[in-house]
Amino acid sequence: MSADRELLKKARAGDTQAVDELLSRHERQVFRFGLRMCGNEEDARDVLQETLLAAFKNIHDFRAEAQLSTWLYQIARSYCLKSRRRGVGEPTRTEPLERPEAAAVPSEKAPPDAQAHAREIGALLQAAILSLPEAQREVIVLRDVEGLSAEEAAKVTGIEVGALKSRLHRARTDLRERLVAFLGSDSDIGAAAPCPGRAEELAA
């Protein structure tokens, strides 16, 4: 984004207001990533706070060879991993995703039963994503939910593009199997789940 580049230039010149504005542009997506990786708002807020603080302190170390958002995801990922390690052995607290009905229901005037169904599907999808192994969960979130390219997601996770694509294929397959188990083998949702972008459509 050209606006990001201009703000980054000012930030490197010591303009703290530019740093604040630059990071605020990406605050929502960092929180969303933390929520979908950690499964609860408390940990997601901690990840967001730690990520923004680290980015603020190290903005001069950021190399514009990659997107700023990619760099922020890398930082957020490290804090997500730390958060998950601290919670080893603890039950995962699953929070509903942000207004899943907004993406799953085309009209704001949709019947209440349709909205309730959309919320249920969003919650089931979140639970299914959280049940995946961590390595699979992060590639699903980065590619199918956050919409990063394979190259960007590979930079965030620190693996080769080919390895990421292989992991993503397996993650989509496992996600579909989990959704089919949750919803039943005859469910249309279960059959459609591995399609790229389906996770974003249901859980944005």
- Regarding predicted confidence, which is higher, 110 or 194? 110
Residue 140 contacts residue 150 (beta carbons within 8 Å): no
Residue 198 has pLDDT above 80, yes or no: no
Q: What is the pLDDT of residues 8-26, one digit of tens each?
A: 888 888 888 988 999 999 9
Residue 204 has pLDDT above 60, yes or no: no
Residue 157 contacts residue 182 (beta carbons within 8 Å): no
Q: How far apart are CA 65 and CA 164, in angstroms?
A: 20
**Per-residue pLDDT averaged across 41-52, rounded?**
94
Q: What percent of the chain has pLDDT over 90?
A: 45
pLDDT of residue 94: 42
- Ordered domains of the chain (ranges, CATH): 2-86 (1.10.1740.10), 101-203 (1.10.10.10)
Q: What's the whole-model pTM score? A: 0.73
pLDDT of residue 96: 42
Look up residue 134 and give its two tokens.
């961590």
Among 90, 92, 99, 147, which Cα is nearest to 123's?
99
Residue 130 contacts residue 92 (beta carbons within 8 Å): yes
Residue 188 has pLDDT above 60, yes or no: no
